[in-house]
A and B are shown apart, each in its own frame.
Chain A
Amino acid sequence: MKRRVVVTGTGSISALGNCMKELIDSIERQVCGTKQMETWNQYKGLQSLVGAPAELPDIKIIPRKMRRSMGRMSLLAVFAVNEALESAGLEKNEITNERYGCVAGSTMGSAEALNDTFEIMLPDHDLTLLTSMSFFQCISHTVSMNIAQYLGITGSVIATSAACASSLQAIGTGFDLIRNNTQDIVLCGGSEELHPTVTGSFDILFATSTKFNETPKKTPRPFDKNRDGLVCGEGAGIIVLEELEHAKKRGANILAEVVGYNTCGSGTHISQPDRQAMIQCMKAALADAGIKPENIDFVSAHATATLQGDHEEAAAIYEVFGSQTPVNSLKGYLGHTLGASGAIELAVAIEMMNNSIIYPTLNLTDIDEGCSMIKHVKTKLKKNINFILKNCFAFGGINASIICKKYEEINE
Protein backbone atom coordinates (compact mmCIF):
# COMPACT_ATOMS: atom_id res chain seq x y z
CA MET A 1 0.00 0.00 0.00
CA LYS A 2 1.24 3.43 -0.94
CA ARG A 3 1.96 5.90 1.81
CA ARG A 4 -0.12 9.04 2.30
CA VAL A 5 1.42 12.44 1.60
CA VAL A 6 0.44 15.70 3.24
CA VAL A 7 1.36 19.36 2.90
CA THR A 8 2.87 20.70 6.12
CA GLY A 9 4.30 24.02 4.96
CA THR A 10 4.08 26.66 2.26
CA GLY A 11 6.20 29.66 1.36
CA SER A 12 6.18 32.21 -1.41
CA ILE A 13 7.68 35.39 -2.72
CA SER A 14 6.12 37.27 -5.62
CA ALA A 15 5.00 40.62 -6.94
CA LEU A 16 2.43 40.50 -4.15
CA GLY A 17 4.84 40.30 -1.25
CA ASN A 18 7.42 38.21 0.49
CA CYS A 19 5.23 35.75 2.34
CA MET A 20 1.97 33.85 2.05
CA LYS A 21 0.12 36.31 4.30
CA GLU A 22 1.03 39.31 2.12
CA LEU A 23 0.09 37.31 -0.97
CA ILE A 24 -3.33 36.29 0.35
CA ASP A 25 -4.00 39.80 1.72
CA SER A 26 -3.20 41.28 -1.71
CA ILE A 27 -5.46 38.81 -3.49
CA GLU A 28 -8.18 39.59 -0.96
CA ARG A 29 -7.77 43.29 -1.86
CA GLN A 30 -7.82 42.50 -5.61
CA VAL A 31 -4.30 43.84 -6.20
CA CYS A 32 -2.77 43.33 -9.63
CA GLY A 33 1.03 42.97 -9.48
CA THR A 34 1.63 44.13 -13.06
CA LYS A 35 3.76 47.23 -13.59
CA GLN A 36 5.27 49.17 -16.46
CA MET A 37 8.87 48.03 -17.00
CA GLU A 38 10.44 51.41 -17.66
CA THR A 39 13.81 50.30 -19.01
CA TRP A 40 12.53 47.66 -21.39
CA ASN A 41 11.91 50.03 -24.29
CA GLN A 42 15.66 49.82 -25.03
CA TYR A 43 14.99 46.36 -26.51
CA LYS A 44 14.24 46.64 -30.20
CA GLY A 45 11.18 44.63 -31.14
CA LEU A 46 9.94 43.99 -27.60
CA GLN A 47 6.23 44.80 -27.68
CA SER A 48 5.22 43.88 -24.14
CA LEU A 49 6.59 46.47 -21.71
CA VAL A 50 4.86 45.15 -18.58
CA GLY A 51 5.83 42.64 -15.91
CA ALA A 52 5.07 41.61 -12.35
CA PRO A 53 8.38 42.01 -10.49
CA ALA A 54 9.09 40.83 -6.96
CA GLU A 55 11.16 42.74 -4.44
CA LEU A 56 14.05 40.81 -2.94
CA PRO A 57 14.57 41.28 0.80
CA ASP A 58 18.09 41.82 2.16
CA ILE A 59 20.08 39.02 0.52
CA LYS A 60 22.94 39.38 3.00
CA ILE A 61 21.06 37.23 5.48
CA ILE A 62 22.28 34.37 3.25
CA PRO A 63 25.96 33.64 3.97
CA ARG A 64 28.23 34.77 1.13
CA LYS A 65 29.59 31.32 0.33
CA MET A 66 26.06 30.03 -0.19
CA ARG A 67 24.86 33.16 -1.90
CA ARG A 68 27.70 33.40 -4.45
CA SER A 69 26.27 30.60 -6.62
CA MET A 70 22.75 32.01 -6.51
CA GLY A 71 21.29 33.97 -9.37
CA ARG A 72 18.12 35.97 -8.74
CA MET A 73 15.86 32.92 -9.09
CA SER A 74 17.79 30.96 -6.45
CA LEU A 75 17.76 33.94 -4.09
CA LEU A 76 13.99 34.20 -4.51
CA ALA A 77 13.71 30.46 -3.83
CA VAL A 78 15.68 30.70 -0.58
CA PHE A 79 13.22 33.24 0.84
CA ALA A 80 10.31 30.96 -0.06
CA VAL A 81 12.19 28.02 1.51
CA ASN A 82 12.73 29.94 4.75
CA GLU A 83 9.02 30.71 5.01
CA ALA A 84 8.00 27.17 4.07
CA LEU A 85 10.26 25.67 6.73
CA GLU A 86 8.94 28.06 9.37
CA SER A 87 5.39 27.24 8.32
CA ALA A 88 6.18 23.52 8.62
CA GLY A 89 7.74 23.98 12.06
CA LEU A 90 11.08 22.71 10.83
CA GLU A 91 14.49 24.16 11.69
CA LYS A 92 16.95 24.76 8.86
CA ASN A 93 19.46 22.32 10.33
CA GLU A 94 16.80 19.71 11.02
CA ILE A 95 16.45 18.35 7.51
CA THR A 96 19.96 17.08 6.86
CA ASN A 97 18.96 13.47 6.68
CA GLU A 98 19.02 11.04 3.76
CA ARG A 99 15.23 10.70 3.96
CA TYR A 100 14.70 14.43 3.40
CA GLY A 101 15.01 15.80 -0.13
CA CYS A 102 14.32 18.68 -2.44
CA VAL A 103 12.74 18.89 -5.89
CA ALA A 104 12.65 22.32 -7.49
CA GLY A 105 12.31 23.58 -11.01
CA SER A 106 12.59 26.55 -13.29
CA THR A 107 12.33 27.10 -17.02
CA MET A 108 16.11 27.47 -17.29
CA GLY A 109 18.98 28.89 -15.25
CA SER A 110 19.06 32.50 -14.12
CA ALA A 111 18.18 34.71 -17.12
CA GLU A 112 20.12 37.59 -15.64
CA ALA A 113 23.22 35.43 -15.16
CA LEU A 114 22.92 33.97 -18.66
CA ASN A 115 22.57 37.47 -20.09
CA ASP A 116 25.55 38.78 -18.10
CA THR A 117 27.68 35.79 -19.11
CA PHE A 118 27.09 36.37 -22.80
CA GLU A 119 27.55 40.12 -22.46
CA ILE A 120 30.96 39.54 -20.86
CA MET A 121 32.06 36.78 -23.22
CA LEU A 122 30.75 37.67 -26.66
CA PRO A 123 32.06 41.14 -27.55
CA ASP A 124 35.66 39.85 -27.77
CA HIS A 125 34.95 36.12 -27.50
CA ASP A 126 36.91 36.36 -24.25
CA LEU A 127 36.44 33.78 -21.48
CA THR A 128 39.02 35.23 -19.10
CA LEU A 129 36.64 37.63 -17.38
CA LEU A 130 34.03 35.01 -16.50
CA THR A 131 33.73 34.31 -12.79
CA SER A 132 33.60 30.82 -11.34
CA MET A 133 29.98 31.41 -10.37
CA SER A 134 28.60 32.13 -13.86
CA PHE A 135 28.20 28.42 -14.51
CA PHE A 136 26.48 27.68 -11.20
CA GLN A 137 23.95 30.47 -11.75
CA CYS A 138 23.24 29.49 -15.37
CA ILE A 139 22.72 25.75 -15.08
CA SER A 140 19.23 24.28 -15.34
CA HIS A 141 19.31 22.76 -11.85
CA THR A 142 20.56 25.95 -10.21
CA VAL A 143 17.47 26.33 -7.97
CA SER A 144 17.39 22.80 -6.55
CA MET A 145 21.18 22.71 -6.25
CA ASN A 146 21.28 25.97 -4.32
CA ILE A 147 18.40 25.02 -2.03
CA ALA A 148 20.12 21.72 -1.29
CA GLN A 149 23.43 23.42 -0.52
CA TYR A 150 21.74 26.09 1.57
CA LEU A 151 19.97 23.51 3.73
CA GLY A 152 22.62 20.78 3.64
CA ILE A 153 20.17 18.32 2.10
CA THR A 154 21.53 14.79 1.65
CA GLY A 155 18.39 13.06 0.37
CA SER A 156 17.10 13.23 -3.20
CA VAL A 157 17.95 16.45 -5.04
CA ILE A 158 16.09 16.72 -8.35
CA ALA A 159 15.44 19.56 -10.80
CA THR A 160 12.33 19.58 -12.93
CA SER A 161 12.69 21.80 -15.97
CA ALA A 162 9.44 21.95 -17.93
CA ALA A 163 8.84 25.68 -18.32
CA CYS A 164 5.43 26.61 -16.88
CA ALA A 165 4.84 23.09 -15.53
CA SER A 166 8.19 22.92 -13.69
CA SER A 167 7.01 23.41 -10.13
CA LEU A 168 3.88 21.32 -10.45
CA GLN A 169 6.07 18.52 -11.79
CA ALA A 170 8.35 19.13 -8.80
CA ILE A 171 5.43 18.69 -6.40
CA GLY A 172 4.29 15.59 -8.30
CA THR A 173 7.78 14.15 -8.17
CA GLY A 174 8.00 14.82 -4.45
CA PHE A 175 4.60 13.18 -4.00
CA ASP A 176 5.90 10.07 -5.78
CA LEU A 177 9.16 10.03 -3.79
CA ILE A 178 7.21 10.00 -0.53
CA ARG A 179 4.34 7.69 -1.40
CA ASN A 180 6.81 5.17 -2.87
CA ASN A 181 8.82 5.24 0.38
CA THR A 182 11.99 6.83 -0.99
CA GLN A 183 11.74 10.01 1.11
CA ASP A 184 9.84 11.21 4.21
CA ILE A 185 9.98 14.98 3.64
CA VAL A 186 10.52 16.75 0.32
CA LEU A 187 10.69 20.49 -0.23
CA CYS A 188 9.05 20.99 -3.62
CA GLY A 189 8.49 23.98 -5.82
CA GLY A 190 10.00 26.31 -8.30
CA SER A 191 11.32 29.73 -9.01
CA GLU A 192 11.52 32.11 -11.92
CA GLU A 193 12.90 35.57 -12.52
CA LEU A 194 11.57 38.43 -14.59
CA HIS A 195 13.91 39.55 -17.35
CA PRO A 196 13.34 41.21 -20.73
CA THR A 197 14.85 38.18 -22.47
CA VAL A 198 12.28 35.93 -20.77
CA THR A 199 9.35 38.13 -21.76
CA GLY A 200 11.02 38.45 -25.16
CA SER A 201 10.91 34.70 -25.73
CA PHE A 202 7.10 34.82 -25.51
CA ASP A 203 6.90 38.21 -27.23
CA ILE A 204 8.42 36.98 -30.47
CA LEU A 205 5.76 34.24 -30.53
CA PHE A 206 3.01 36.90 -30.14
CA ALA A 207 1.97 35.34 -26.82
CA THR A 208 2.46 38.41 -24.59
CA SER A 209 0.10 41.20 -23.59
CA THR A 210 0.97 44.31 -25.62
CA LYS A 211 -2.11 46.56 -25.50
CA PHE A 212 -1.90 47.54 -21.85
CA ASN A 213 1.59 49.03 -21.62
CA GLU A 214 0.05 52.31 -20.43
CA THR A 215 -2.58 50.67 -18.21
CA PRO A 216 -0.66 47.74 -16.66
CA LYS A 217 -3.17 46.98 -13.91
CA LYS A 218 -5.66 45.86 -16.54
CA THR A 219 -3.54 42.94 -17.71
CA PRO A 220 -3.28 39.96 -17.86
CA ARG A 221 -6.99 39.17 -18.35
CA PRO A 222 -7.56 35.41 -18.12
CA PHE A 223 -10.70 34.17 -19.91
CA ASP A 224 -11.71 37.77 -20.73
CA LYS A 225 -12.79 38.66 -24.26
CA ASN A 226 -10.24 41.49 -24.32
CA ARG A 227 -7.31 39.37 -23.17
CA ASP A 228 -4.26 39.79 -25.34
CA GLY A 229 -1.61 37.51 -23.90
CA LEU A 230 0.42 36.72 -20.84
CA VAL A 231 2.39 39.01 -18.55
CA CYS A 232 5.57 37.52 -17.15
CA GLY A 233 5.93 37.66 -13.41
CA GLU A 234 8.57 36.40 -11.04
CA GLY A 235 8.79 34.70 -7.71
CA ALA A 236 9.17 31.39 -5.97
CA GLY A 237 6.86 28.93 -4.29
CA ILE A 238 7.82 26.10 -1.98
CA ILE A 239 5.53 23.39 -0.62
CA VAL A 240 6.70 21.07 2.14
CA LEU A 241 5.44 17.55 1.45
CA GLU A 242 5.62 14.98 4.21
CA GLU A 243 4.57 11.41 4.85
CA LEU A 244 1.39 11.48 6.96
CA GLU A 245 2.63 9.43 9.94
CA HIS A 246 5.93 11.32 9.98
CA ALA A 247 3.99 14.60 10.12
CA LYS A 248 1.64 13.36 12.86
CA LYS A 249 4.53 12.02 14.92
CA ARG A 250 6.17 15.42 15.13
CA GLY A 251 2.85 17.21 15.64
CA ALA A 252 3.04 19.15 12.39
CA ASN A 253 0.22 21.41 11.27
CA ILE A 254 -1.26 19.59 8.27
CA LEU A 255 -2.56 21.95 5.58
CA ALA A 256 -3.82 19.44 2.99
CA GLU A 257 -3.32 15.96 1.58
CA VAL A 258 -1.98 15.36 -1.92
CA VAL A 259 -4.07 12.58 -3.43
CA GLY A 260 -3.60 12.59 -7.20
CA TYR A 261 -1.10 13.63 -9.83
CA ASN A 262 -0.44 13.22 -13.50
CA THR A 263 1.92 14.68 -16.03
CA CYS A 264 1.77 13.91 -19.73
CA GLY A 265 2.83 15.15 -23.13
CA SER A 266 0.52 16.28 -25.90
CA GLY A 267 2.76 14.92 -28.61
CA THR A 268 1.16 17.25 -31.13
CA HIS A 269 2.80 20.68 -31.19
CA ILE A 270 5.53 22.48 -29.26
CA SER A 271 3.50 25.62 -28.58
CA GLN A 272 -0.15 25.08 -29.46
CA PRO A 273 -2.20 23.95 -26.45
CA ASP A 274 -4.06 20.69 -26.95
CA ARG A 275 -7.34 20.14 -25.13
CA GLN A 276 -7.26 16.37 -25.57
CA ALA A 277 -3.95 16.15 -23.71
CA MET A 278 -5.28 18.47 -20.99
CA ILE A 279 -8.36 16.26 -20.63
CA GLN A 280 -6.15 13.18 -20.47
CA CYS A 281 -4.00 14.80 -17.78
CA MET A 282 -6.91 15.87 -15.55
CA LYS A 283 -8.67 12.52 -15.94
CA ALA A 284 -5.49 10.62 -15.09
CA ALA A 285 -5.00 12.77 -11.97
CA LEU A 286 -8.60 11.99 -10.94
CA ALA A 287 -7.99 8.28 -11.51
CA ASP A 288 -4.79 8.47 -9.47
CA ALA A 289 -6.78 10.07 -6.63
CA GLY A 290 -9.53 7.48 -7.01
CA ILE A 291 -12.22 10.16 -7.20
CA LYS A 292 -14.81 11.31 -9.72
CA PRO A 293 -14.95 14.71 -11.47
CA GLU A 294 -17.96 15.70 -9.35
CA ASN A 295 -15.83 15.37 -6.21
CA ILE A 296 -13.68 18.32 -7.30
CA ASP A 297 -15.02 21.52 -5.70
CA PHE A 298 -12.72 23.99 -7.38
CA VAL A 299 -10.29 24.10 -10.32
CA SER A 300 -7.30 26.43 -10.13
CA ALA A 301 -6.66 26.91 -13.84
CA HIS A 302 -3.41 27.52 -15.64
CA ALA A 303 -5.13 30.22 -17.79
CA THR A 304 -2.39 32.71 -18.62
CA ALA A 305 -4.63 34.97 -20.77
CA THR A 306 -3.36 33.81 -24.14
CA LEU A 307 -6.07 33.55 -26.77
CA GLN A 308 -5.65 29.87 -27.56
CA GLY A 309 -4.48 28.62 -24.17
CA ASP A 310 -7.47 29.91 -22.21
CA HIS A 311 -9.88 28.67 -24.83
CA GLU A 312 -8.42 25.16 -24.92
CA GLU A 313 -8.26 24.92 -21.13
CA ALA A 314 -11.86 26.12 -20.71
CA ALA A 315 -12.98 23.51 -23.25
CA ALA A 316 -10.95 20.79 -21.51
CA ILE A 317 -12.29 21.73 -18.05
CA TYR A 318 -15.84 21.70 -19.44
CA GLU A 319 -15.28 18.26 -20.97
CA VAL A 320 -14.08 16.83 -17.63
CA PHE A 321 -16.10 18.79 -15.06
CA GLY A 322 -19.03 20.32 -16.93
CA SER A 323 -20.35 23.80 -16.26
CA GLN A 324 -20.91 23.79 -12.49
CA THR A 325 -17.43 23.44 -10.95
CA PRO A 326 -15.99 26.86 -10.03
CA VAL A 327 -12.81 27.79 -11.93
CA ASN A 328 -10.41 30.66 -11.34
CA SER A 329 -7.03 31.83 -12.57
CA LEU A 330 -4.55 33.71 -10.37
CA LYS A 331 -2.55 35.14 -13.28
CA GLY A 332 -4.41 38.48 -13.11
CA TYR A 333 -2.87 39.02 -9.66
CA LEU A 334 0.60 37.53 -10.05
CA GLY A 335 1.31 37.57 -13.76
CA HIS A 336 2.65 34.32 -15.10
CA THR A 337 5.40 33.21 -12.79
CA LEU A 338 6.23 30.39 -15.23
CA GLY A 339 8.21 27.68 -13.45
CA ALA A 340 7.10 29.00 -10.07
CA SER A 341 3.41 29.32 -10.92
CA GLY A 342 2.33 25.77 -10.03
CA ALA A 343 3.74 25.95 -6.50
CA ILE A 344 2.70 29.54 -5.71
CA GLU A 345 -0.81 29.00 -7.05
CA LEU A 346 -1.24 25.61 -5.38
CA ALA A 347 -0.23 27.20 -2.06
CA VAL A 348 -2.92 29.86 -2.59
CA ALA A 349 -5.48 27.25 -3.64
CA ILE A 350 -4.80 25.29 -0.42
CA GLU A 351 -5.39 28.49 1.58
CA MET A 352 -8.66 28.98 -0.30
CA MET A 353 -9.70 25.39 0.46
CA ASN A 354 -8.94 25.77 4.16
CA ASN A 355 -10.75 29.12 4.36
CA SER A 356 -13.73 27.96 2.24
CA ILE A 357 -13.21 30.89 -0.12
CA ILE A 358 -12.63 31.06 -3.86
CA TYR A 359 -11.11 34.33 -5.01
CA PRO A 360 -12.27 35.73 -8.34
CA THR A 361 -10.23 35.83 -11.53
CA LEU A 362 -8.86 39.37 -11.56
CA ASN A 363 -9.43 41.42 -14.74
CA LEU A 364 -12.17 39.06 -15.90
CA THR A 365 -14.77 41.66 -16.88
CA ASP A 366 -16.43 40.21 -19.95
CA ILE A 367 -16.16 36.47 -20.29
CA ASP A 368 -15.02 35.45 -23.75
CA GLU A 369 -17.67 33.47 -25.55
CA GLY A 370 -15.12 30.79 -26.35
CA CYS A 371 -14.42 30.34 -22.63
CA SER A 372 -17.99 30.76 -21.37
CA MET A 373 -18.93 27.08 -21.02
CA ILE A 374 -17.37 26.76 -17.53
CA LYS A 375 -18.28 28.36 -14.19
CA HIS A 376 -16.04 31.38 -13.76
CA VAL A 377 -15.56 32.97 -10.36
CA LYS A 378 -16.12 36.70 -10.85
CA THR A 379 -16.72 37.70 -7.24
CA LYS A 380 -15.45 36.17 -4.01
CA LEU A 381 -17.26 32.91 -3.46
CA LYS A 382 -17.87 31.21 -0.10
CA LYS A 383 -17.93 27.46 -0.59
CA ASN A 384 -17.05 24.37 1.36
CA ILE A 385 -14.14 22.81 -0.50
CA ASN A 386 -12.93 19.25 0.00
CA PHE A 387 -10.98 18.65 -3.20
CA ILE A 388 -9.06 21.05 -5.46
CA LEU A 389 -7.41 20.43 -8.80
CA LYS A 390 -4.52 22.60 -10.01
CA ASN A 391 -3.42 22.70 -13.65
CA CYS A 392 -0.19 23.76 -15.31
CA PHE A 393 0.32 23.51 -19.06
CA ALA A 394 3.71 24.25 -20.57
CA PHE A 395 5.32 24.89 -23.92
CA GLY A 396 6.56 21.68 -25.37
CA GLY A 397 3.12 20.14 -24.91
CA ILE A 398 3.81 19.28 -21.26
CA ASN A 399 0.82 19.06 -18.94
CA ALA A 400 0.53 18.57 -15.20
CA SER A 401 -2.46 18.33 -12.87
CA ILE A 402 -2.45 17.77 -9.13
CA ILE A 403 -5.29 17.11 -6.70
CA CYS A 404 -5.31 18.01 -3.02
CA LYS A 405 -7.83 17.10 -0.37
CA LYS A 406 -8.77 18.99 2.74
CA TYR A 407 -7.18 17.34 5.76
CA GLU A 408 -9.50 16.87 8.70
CA GLU A 409 -8.02 15.02 11.62
CA ILE A 410 -11.44 14.10 12.94
CA ASN A 411 -11.97 11.80 9.97
CA GLU A 412 -8.63 10.04 10.25
Chain B
Amino acid sequence: MSNKIELMINEVFQESFEIEKNQLKPEANIFEDLGLDSLDVVDLVVALQNKFKVEIRTDERIKEIRTLKDLCIFIKELQSEGSS
Protein backbone atom coordinates (compact mmCIF):
# COMPACT_ATOMS: atom_id res chain seq x y z
CA MET B 1 0.00 0.00 0.00
CA SER B 2 2.69 2.46 1.10
CA ASN B 3 4.69 1.62 -2.03
CA LYS B 4 1.67 2.42 -4.17
CA ILE B 5 1.19 5.75 -2.37
CA GLU B 6 4.87 6.53 -2.89
CA LEU B 7 4.55 5.80 -6.61
CA MET B 8 1.46 7.99 -6.92
CA ILE B 9 3.15 10.86 -5.05
CA ASN B 10 6.16 10.53 -7.32
CA GLU B 11 3.86 10.71 -10.33
CA VAL B 12 2.49 14.02 -9.02
CA PHE B 13 5.99 15.45 -8.75
CA GLN B 14 6.92 14.24 -12.21
CA GLU B 15 3.69 15.37 -13.89
CA SER B 16 3.04 18.66 -12.09
CA PHE B 17 6.56 19.86 -11.28
CA GLU B 18 8.66 18.13 -13.94
CA ILE B 19 11.01 16.62 -11.35
CA GLU B 20 13.26 13.86 -12.68
CA LYS B 21 12.52 10.40 -11.31
CA ASN B 22 16.04 9.96 -9.92
CA GLN B 23 15.56 12.98 -7.63
CA LEU B 24 12.47 11.48 -6.00
CA LYS B 25 13.96 9.88 -2.92
CA PRO B 26 11.95 9.53 0.33
CA GLU B 27 14.33 11.82 2.23
CA ALA B 28 14.24 14.55 -0.47
CA ASN B 29 13.15 17.91 0.96
CA ILE B 30 10.39 19.24 -1.29
CA PHE B 31 11.64 22.82 -0.97
CA GLU B 32 15.42 22.58 -0.72
CA ASP B 33 16.02 19.48 -2.84
CA LEU B 34 13.09 19.53 -5.26
CA GLY B 35 12.82 23.33 -5.60
CA LEU B 36 9.14 23.87 -4.84
CA ASP B 37 8.01 27.23 -3.44
CA SER B 38 4.91 28.46 -1.62
CA LEU B 39 2.88 28.77 -4.87
CA ASP B 40 3.88 25.25 -5.88
CA VAL B 41 2.54 23.98 -2.57
CA VAL B 42 -0.92 25.32 -3.47
CA ASP B 43 -0.70 23.37 -6.72
CA LEU B 44 0.71 20.32 -4.93
CA VAL B 45 -2.39 20.29 -2.73
CA VAL B 46 -4.67 20.49 -5.79
CA ALA B 47 -2.74 17.72 -7.53
CA LEU B 48 -2.83 15.48 -4.45
CA GLN B 49 -6.57 16.13 -4.02
CA ASN B 50 -7.11 15.01 -7.61
CA LYS B 51 -4.79 12.02 -7.33
CA PHE B 52 -6.02 10.62 -4.03
CA LYS B 53 -9.58 12.00 -4.02
CA VAL B 54 -9.07 13.68 -0.65
CA GLU B 55 -9.74 17.17 0.71
CA ILE B 56 -6.63 18.57 2.31
CA ARG B 57 -6.64 22.30 1.48
CA THR B 58 -7.38 23.33 5.06
CA ASP B 59 -5.58 20.49 6.80
CA GLU B 60 -3.03 22.04 9.17
CA ARG B 61 -0.72 19.01 8.90
CA ILE B 62 0.35 20.12 5.42
CA LYS B 63 2.39 22.91 6.96
CA GLU B 64 4.62 20.39 8.72
CA ILE B 65 5.48 18.40 5.58
CA ARG B 66 9.10 18.72 4.48
CA THR B 67 10.06 15.49 2.73
CA LEU B 68 8.48 13.02 0.35
CA LYS B 69 8.45 10.55 3.21
CA ASP B 70 6.46 13.04 5.36
CA LEU B 71 4.00 13.35 2.50
CA CYS B 72 3.65 9.61 2.15
CA ILE B 73 2.96 9.23 5.90
CA PHE B 74 0.41 12.06 5.73
CA ILE B 75 -1.49 10.46 2.84
CA LYS B 76 -1.40 7.11 4.60
CA GLU B 77 -2.87 8.72 7.73
CA LEU B 78 -5.60 10.35 5.65
CA GLN B 79 -6.51 7.06 4.04
CA SER B 80 -6.64 5.21 7.35
CA GLU B 81 -8.79 8.03 8.82
CA GLY B 82 -11.09 7.71 5.83
CA SER B 83 -11.43 3.94 6.18
CA SER B 84 -11.88 3.93 10.00
The minimal Cβ–Cβ distance linking B25 to chain A, given in whole angstroms, is 20
Binding site for B on A (CB under 8 A): 60, 64-65, 68, 128-133
Q: Report which of B17, B39, B49, B55 forms a contact with A132, defined as CB distance below 8 A.
A: B39
Closest to A132 in B: B42
A128 partner residues in chain B, CB cutoff 8 A:
46, 49, 55, 57
Select A131's contact among B35, B37, B46, B55, beta carbons within 8 Å.
B46
Q: Chain B residues near A130 (CB, 8 Å)?
A: 46
List residues of chain B with CB within 8 A of the CB of A129.
Answer: 46, 49-50
Q: List 25 A-B contacts (CB under 8 A).
A: A60-B18, A64-B17, A64-B18, A65-B35, A65-B37, A68-B39, A68-B40, A68-B43, A128-B46, A128-B49, A128-B55, A128-B57, A129-B46, A129-B49, A129-B50, A130-B46, A131-B42, A131-B43, A131-B46, A132-B39, A132-B40, A132-B42, A132-B43, A133-B39, A133-B43
Question: What residues of chain B lie closer than 8 Å to A65, measured between beta carbons?
Answer: 35, 37
**Alpha-carbon distance A60/B18, docked complex (angstroms):** 10
Residues of B within 8 A of A (CB): 17-18, 35, 37, 39-40, 42-43, 46, 49-50, 55, 57
Residues of chain B within 8 A (CB-CB) of A132 are 39-40, 42-43
Judged by DSSP, the binding face of B is helix
How far, in Å, is A74 (CB) from chain B's closest CB? 16
Please, which residue of chain A has its CB at the minimum distance from the CB of B38?
A132
Shortest beta-carbon distance, B15 to chain A, in Å? 12
Contact partners of A68 in chain B: CB under 8 A: 39-40, 43
Write the chain A residue with the least CB distance to B47. Answer: A131
Q: Number of contacts between A and B (CB, 8 Å)? A: 25
In the assembly, what is the distance between CA of A254 and CA of B54, in Å? 58
Closest 7 CB pairs of A and B: A132-B42, A132-B39, A131-B43, A128-B57, A64-B18, A131-B46, A132-B43
Nearest B residue to A131 by beta-carbon distance? B43
Cβ–Cβ < 8 Å partners of B49 in chain A = 128-129
Please, how many angstroms separate the alpha-carbon atoms of A65 and B32 in the complex?
A: 15
Point out the residues of chain A lying under 8 angstroms from B17, CB to CB: 64
Q: How many angstroms from the CA of A68 to the CA of B17 in the assembled complex? A: 9
Q: Which residues from chain B contact A131 at a C-beta distance below 8 Å? A: 42-43, 46
Bound-state CA distance A130–B57 (Å) is 11
Give the distance in Å from the alpha carbon of A139 to the alpha carbon of B72 in the complex.
35
Give, as a whole number of angstroms, the nearest-CB distance from A64 to chain B.
Answer: 5
- What is the chain A residue whose CB lies nearest that of B36? A65
Most buried by A among B35, B40, B50: B40
Q: Closest Cβ of chain A: how far from B17's Cβ, in Å? A: 7
CB distance from B18 to the nearest CB of A (A): 5
A67 nearest CB neighbor, chain B only? B18
Residues of chain A contacted by B57 (CB below 8 angstroms): 128
Could you list 10 further interchain pairs (A-B, Cβ under 8 angstroms) beyond the known A128-B49, A131-B46? A60-B18, A64-B17, A65-B35, A65-B37, A68-B43, A128-B55, A128-B57, A129-B50, A131-B42, A132-B42
Q: For residue A136, which residue of chain B has the nearest CB?
A: B39
A131 to B45, alpha carbons, bound, how many Å?
9
Q: How far is the CA of A172 from the CA of B82 in the complex (A)?
A: 60
Q: B18 contacts which chain A residues (CB < 8 A)?
A: 60, 64
User: Which chain A residues lie closer than 8 Å to B39 at the CB level?
Assistant: 68, 132-133
Set of chain B residues within 8 Å of A60, measured between Cβ atoms: 18
Q: How far is the CA of A22 from the CA of B35 in the complex (A)?
A: 38
User: Measured between alpha carbons, how far is A60 from B20 in the docked complex, in Å?
Assistant: 14
A131 to B17, CA, bound (A): 13
